[in-house]
């Protein structure tokens, strides 16, 4: 048993089967790997026939079924998680902040990272409100307000025809029934969040066991030095209490916003008197209290710290009580008869019979719920200004907040001036409208995005090439903005799709009885333009790829070469992978940034357009307006099917290897991070995988010398996303375990992707913490393998050992083989000669009796 070393392999996003991880042949009759620890979802596997005397044992950790795994009974649920991708991206933005202190307990709410975190959490709350406002619009506006007769209600699955006649059709009572839609959605999100606490509730076990007394390298554990990386926080991967508390705030805020939509509309149309006042005032005050408490609580350590007890606390109980009062008051007010103060609500709704005879007077007029369009428009503009503030503060610090804050104040003053509220000033010019102020306000706010970047105090020299912070430090805004655009697209598409079904196929943007909100019509046009901009960006990427491929081909086949036609064909294939490697590693971040700039301009113009409260085209368009109408209708139709497309892609992730390898990259990167900003996002698989790997490693290394399972050292071998998991595990382990570990990373994105997008964890000034944790008298226990044909694997600049793996091994068959050696690009690293040679060398160092044992850490 002496000198036994274990190689623990952790796969990437492809969910490589355990047999393939272990290098076994996929023969149907061959013995299958046996599970030695874990369960059917996450398990540790070894090849059959491995004995206790084998000097080198390979073990595979399979975690892929937590995200993009094989077919399971939860495939449908996980496919629906894809619809929550906007929440995932917004949550990831919190971890993309530059300047996060190494010790999270040292982060102050007024610091650069603290202010950015608060803004991001506010933005995440606004995303929840966007979804709630959308579903409220479906239930309250499209169904409860505009769908007034049985013919229209009959197109809705379920027994809803009773809303078209009798007591329920009078006043605003149908709106109370329409509130069931957002309440059902929030209940579903709450149940899903509650069910996924199992990920965050996973704790490492056995990592505090004392080292074996008989171990020759055992030393007393030194005092833990101050943390130099946030991933060293022992509570980083345990956030059950934080998620519970934040989920209560989000769900209660969603209920309050859902209630505020019909409550505000009814109070504006029919000012309350008498009993209605007694009911309305507490409901309005409670809605405001919920929003205020949520906004304040999102900045408090009570919510932002992941340590501490899990109980919900007084904040959660208080906000839940106010929410109950707001919802109860709203429902009671909607069920009361009309008051005498305003216009009867029946006069503002579409007249009955429009579904059967749209030619009736008033049927084809826009009779949508008053004020709902403004709610959607103001919410979108506020989110855009919030995104700009996030990017400005993340890049330049608190000073940059002055620009978006000034823009918001000036815009509010401008709106008040147009409304005649600023009496000392002269009246606003007649042609001036609210929408004309939107673009200048966004331009003023954007000044904060171009201020000089705040650099870390220790950054004395520029980072290595292609290692600089992504998007100039504006990464949180770019990532959160991507989630916002996707959320807006999903919401607009859902509203348009429902309106289309209620109109029985009639185009909702034309003369129709059920009218979607005007921002939805502009959303279709903007979506079509955004697709054109995306096509231009992809064309630019294609040109870059072609140029890089020609350059790589010239390097592999220089003038005067003596290569055969067969070898030249192989050179072309290799050059394509070389070009893809450089395109992803050197240009992808820049291309995304340029598209983000174009999208920001488009969104700013769109926000101004929706504030104009006019359609992008006449209902009966002719000439050039007809072209705009066609483009907008096509964009709206595509938006309508976008949620179905996302859910379909989410289902294919678990059934198709090609889709899993492409889409799974985005999904698994997003769900790697814990839910520290948006509690309703899909759960983090790392909150279960990291503690399990900790438990396994510490448990094996703590075994006594006479235990047959005993190992003297572990090679922690991570491929692609698995290398990121391994890095997180190493930073969580105690020093007595790290001195007996060597890290292998291959196909790794630690520098070019994670280091640039998440600089506070893997940037040039934080990644050396990982190398330092693995450094002892024998050197740095970290070897990184990479290929210049691997689009996702690059060298890692942290002072460790980088080994280039030759790929392909040759241009033509050799050694009696008849097939060309494969171009492995991102796969097959353990089969490479360089990998096997390095593993043999490291295994010798980890075995007892090496002249210079690895100590310290």
pLDDT band at 438 (very low <50, low <70, confident <90, very high): very high
* Residue 328 vs residue 849, higher pLDDT: 328
Distances (CA, A) of 501 to 50, 59, 507, 525: 61, 54, 10, 20
Please state, rounded to an integer, the average pLDDT across all residues of the chain: 85
Please say if the pLDDT value at position 296 is more than 60. Answer: yes
Cα separation, 773 vs 242, whole angstroms: 28
pLDDT in the model for residue 705: 80
Question: Which residues is 37 bridged to in the sheet?
Answer: 44
* Residue 642 vs residue 793, higher pLDDT: 793
Question: Which residues is 56 bridged to in the sheet?
Answer: 5
* Residue 299 vs residue 60, higher pLDDT: 60
pLDDT band at 521 (very low <50, low <70, confident <90, very high): confident
Residue 793 CA, distance from chain mean position: 22
**Range scoring the smallest mean pLDDT among 18-32, 133-147, 573-587:** 18-32
* Residue 286 vs residue 152, higher pLDDT: 286
* Residue 154 vs residue 803, higher pLDDT: 803
Tell me: the pLDDT tens digits for 382-403?
A: 999 999 999 999 999 999 999 9
pLDDT in the model for residue 352: 76
Cα separation, 576 vs 581, whole angstroms: 9
Asked if residues 113 and 677 have their Cβ atoms less than 8 Å apart, the reply is no
Highest mean pLDDT among 372-381, 426-435, 503-512, 618-627: 372-381
Residue identified by tokens 């450089």 is 582
pLDDT in the model for residue 207: 47
Tell me: the pLDDT tens digits for 611-631?
A: 988 888 776 766 777 888 888
Please say if the pLDDT value at position 308 is more than 70. Answer: no
Please say if the pLDDT value at position 511 is more than 70. Answer: no
Question: Which residues is 46 bridged to in the sheet?
Answer: 34, 59
Q: What does the pLDDT average to over 693-699?
A: 93
pLDDT band at 77 (very low <50, low <70, confident <90, very high): low
DSSP, collapsed to helix, strand or coil, labels residue 779 as strand
Q: What does the pLDDT average to over 68-83?
A: 58
Q: What does the pLDDT average to over 466-473?
A: 88
CA dihedral 154, 257, 89, 139 (to 10 degrees): 0
* Residue 663 vs residue 597, higher pLDDT: 597
pLDDT band at 87 (very low <50, low <70, confident <90, very high): very high
**Range scoring the smallest mean pLDDT among 116-130, 229-243, 404-418:** 229-243
Cα separation, 732 vs 736, whole angstroms: 12
Tell me: the pLDDT tens digits for 599-609?
A: 999 999 999 99
Please say if the pLDDT value at position 856 is more than 50. Answer: no
* Residue 125 vs residue 352, higher pLDDT: 125
Distances (CA, A) of 591 to 93, 236, 582, 722: 19, 32, 13, 26
* Residue 132 vs residue 15, higher pLDDT: 132
Q: Does the N-terminal peptide bond of residue 808 adopt cis geometry, omega within 30 degrees of 0?
A: yes
Highest mean pLDDT among 215-224, 629-638, 688-697: 688-697
pLDDT in the model for residue 146: 87
Please say if the pLDDT value at position 210 is more than 80. Answer: no
Please report, rounded to a whole number, the percentage of residues in the chain having pLDDT higher than 90: 46
Question: Which residues is 34 bridged to in the sheet?
Answer: 46
pLDDT band at 459 (very low <50, low <70, confident <90, very high): low
pLDDT band at 74 (very low <50, low <70, confident <90, very high): low
* Residue 145 vs residue 30, higher pLDDT: 145
Tell me: the pLDDT tens digits for 712-745?
A: 899 999 999 999 999 999 999 998 899 899 999 9
Cα separation, 51 vs 54, whole angstroms: 6
Please say if the pLDDT value at position 147 is more than 90. Answer: no
Q: What does the pLDDT average to over 289-297?
A: 93
pLDDT band at 209 (very low <50, low <70, confident <90, very high): very low
pLDDT in the model for residue 445: 95
**Range scoring the smallest mean pLDDT among 28-37, 181-190, 297-306, 751-760:** 297-306
Please say if the pLDDT value at position 854 is more than 70. Answer: no
Tell me: the pLDDT tens digits for 244-267?
A: 889 999 999 999 999 999 999 999
pLDDT in the model for residue 211: 46
Please say if the pLDDT value at position 213 is more than 50. Answer: no
Highest mean pLDDT among 23-37, 196-210, 314-328: 314-328
The tally of CA atoms less than 13 A away on the side-chain side of residue 700 is: 25
pLDDT in the model for residue 650: 64
Cα separation, 657 vs 668, whole angstroms: 14
* Residue 658 vs residue 181, higher pLDDT: 181
Please say if the pLDDT value at position 75 is more than 60. Answer: no
pLDDT band at 184 (very low <50, low <70, confident <90, very high): very high
Alpha-helix runs per DSSP H in 397-434: 402-418
Q: In what order do the strands lie in the sheet with 34-38?
A: 34-38, 43-46, 56-62, 5-10, 713-719, 741-746, 782-786, 801-804
Asked if residues 244 and 766 have their Cβ atoms less than 8 Å apart, the reply is no
pLDDT band at 660 (very low <50, low <70, confident <90, very high): low
pLDDT in the model for residue 238: 83
pLDDT in the model for residue 27: 61
Q: Are strands 713-719 and 5-10 parallel, antiparallel or unpaired?
A: parallel
Task: Please count the residues of the chain.
Answer: 857
Asked if residues 212 and 705 have their Cβ atoms less than 8 Å apart, the reply is yes
Q: What does the pLDDT average to over 345-362?
A: 74
DSSP, collapsed to helix, strand or coil, labels residue 730 as helix
Cα separation, 590 vs 418, whole angstroms: 41
pLDDT band at 106 (very low <50, low <70, confident <90, very high): confident
């Amino acid at each position: 048993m002496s000198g036994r070393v274990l190689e623990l392999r952790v796969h990437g996003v492809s969910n490589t089967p355990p047999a393939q991880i272990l290098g076994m042949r996929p023969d149907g009759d061959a013995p299958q790997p046996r599970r030695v620890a874990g369960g059917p979802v996450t398990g540790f596997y070894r090849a059959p026939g491995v004995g206790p005397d084998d000097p080198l044992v390979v073990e595979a950790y399979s975690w892929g079924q937590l995200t993009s795994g094989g077919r399971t009974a939860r495939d449908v649920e996980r496919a629906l998680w894809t619809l929550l991708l906007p929440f995932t991206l917004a949550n990831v933005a919190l971890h993309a902040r530059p300047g996060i202190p190494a010790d999270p307990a040292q982060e102050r709410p007024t610091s650069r990272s603290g202010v950015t975190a608060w803004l991001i959490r506010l933005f995440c709350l606004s995303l929840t409100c966007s979804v709630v406002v959308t579903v409220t619009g479906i239930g309250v506006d499209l169904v409860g307000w505009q769908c007034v007769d049985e013919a229209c209600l009959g197109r809705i699955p379920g027994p809803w025809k009773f809303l078209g006649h009798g007591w329920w059709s009078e006043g605003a009572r149908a709106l109370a029934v329409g509130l069931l839609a957002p309440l059902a959605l929030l209940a579903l999100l709450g149940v899903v969040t509650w069910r996924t606490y199992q990920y965050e509730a996973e704790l490492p076990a056995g990592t505090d066991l004392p080292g074996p007394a008989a171990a020759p390298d055992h030393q007393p554990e030194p005092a833990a030095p101050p943390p130099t990386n946030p991933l060293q926080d022992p509570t980083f991967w345990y956030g059950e209490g934080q998620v519970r508390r934040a989920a209560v705030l989000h769900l209660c805020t969603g209920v309050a916003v859902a209630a505020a939509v019909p409550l505000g509309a009814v109070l504006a149309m029919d000012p309350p008197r008498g009993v209605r006042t007694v009911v309305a005032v507490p409901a309005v005050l409670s809605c405001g209290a919920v929003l205020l408490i949520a906004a304040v609580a999102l900045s408090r350590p009570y919510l932002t710290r992941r340590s501490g007890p899990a109980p919900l606390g007084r904040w959660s109980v208080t906000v839940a009580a106010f929410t109950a009062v707001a919802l109860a008051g709203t429902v009671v007010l909607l069920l009361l008869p009309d008051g005498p103060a305003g216009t009867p609500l029946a006069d503002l709704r579409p007249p009955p019979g429009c579904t059967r005879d749209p030619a009736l007077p008033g049927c084809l007029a826009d009779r949508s719920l008053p004020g709902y369009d403004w709610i959607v428009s103001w919410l979108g503009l506020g989110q855009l200004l919030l995104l700009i503030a996030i990017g400005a503060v993340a890049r330049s610090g608190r000073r940059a907040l002055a620009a978006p804050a000034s823009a918001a104040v000036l815009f509010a003053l401008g709106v008040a001036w147009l409304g005649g509220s600023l009496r000392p000033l002269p009246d606003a010019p007649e042609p001036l409208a609210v929408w004309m102020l939107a673009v200048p306000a966004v331009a003023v706010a954007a000044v904060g995005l171009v201020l000089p970047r705040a650099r870390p105090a220790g950054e004395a020299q520029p980072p290595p090439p292609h290692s600089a912070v992504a998007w100039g430090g504006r990464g949180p805004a770019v990532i959160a903005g991507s989630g916002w655009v996707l959320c807006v697209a999903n919401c607009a598409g859902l509203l348009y799709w429902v309106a289309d079904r209620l109109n029985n196929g009639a185009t909702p943007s034309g003369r129709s009885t059920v009218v979607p909100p005007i921002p939805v019509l502009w959303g279709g046009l903007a979506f079509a333009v955004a697709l054109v901009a995306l096509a231009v960006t992809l064309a630019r990427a294609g040109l870059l790829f072609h140029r890089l491929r020609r350059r790589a081909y010239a390097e592999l086949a220089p003038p005067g070469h003596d290569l055969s036609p067969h070898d030249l064909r192989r050179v072309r294939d290799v050059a394509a992978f070389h070009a893809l490697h450089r395109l992803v590693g050197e240009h992808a971040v820049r291309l995304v940034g340029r598209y983000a700039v174009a999208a920001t301009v488009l969104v700013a113009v769109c926000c101004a357009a929706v504030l104009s409260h006019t359609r992008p085209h006449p209902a009966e368009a002719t000439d050039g307006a007809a072209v705009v109408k066609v483009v907008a209708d096509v964009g709206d139709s595509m938006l309508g099917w976008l949620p179905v497309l996302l859910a379909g892609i989410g289902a294919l992730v678990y059934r198709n290897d090609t889709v899993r390898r492409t889409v799974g990259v985005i999904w698994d990167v997003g769900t790697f991070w814990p839910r520290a900003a948006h509690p309703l996002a899909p759960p983090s698989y790392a909150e279960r995988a990291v503690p399990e790997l900790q438990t396994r490693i510490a448990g094996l290394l703590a075994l006594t010398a006479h235990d047959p399972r005993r190992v003297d050292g572990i090679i922690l071998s991570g491929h692609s996303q698995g290398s990121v998991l391994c890095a997180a595990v190493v930073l969580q382990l105690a020093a007595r375990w790290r001195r007996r570990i060597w890290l292998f990373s291959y196909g790794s994105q630690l520098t070019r992707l994670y280091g640039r997008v998440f600089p506070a964890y893997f940037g040039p000034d934080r990644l050396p913490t990982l190398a330092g944790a693995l450094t002892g008298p024998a050197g740095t226990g970290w070897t990184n393998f990479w290929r210049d044909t691997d689009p996702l694997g690059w060298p890692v600049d942290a002072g460790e050992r980088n080994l280039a793996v030759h790929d392909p091994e040759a241009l033509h068959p050799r050694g009696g083989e008849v097939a060309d050696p494969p171009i492995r690009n991102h796969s097959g690293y353990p089969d490479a000669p360089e990998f096997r040679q390095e593993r043999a060398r490291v295994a010798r160092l980890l075995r007892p009796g090496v002249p210079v044992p690895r100590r310290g850490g």
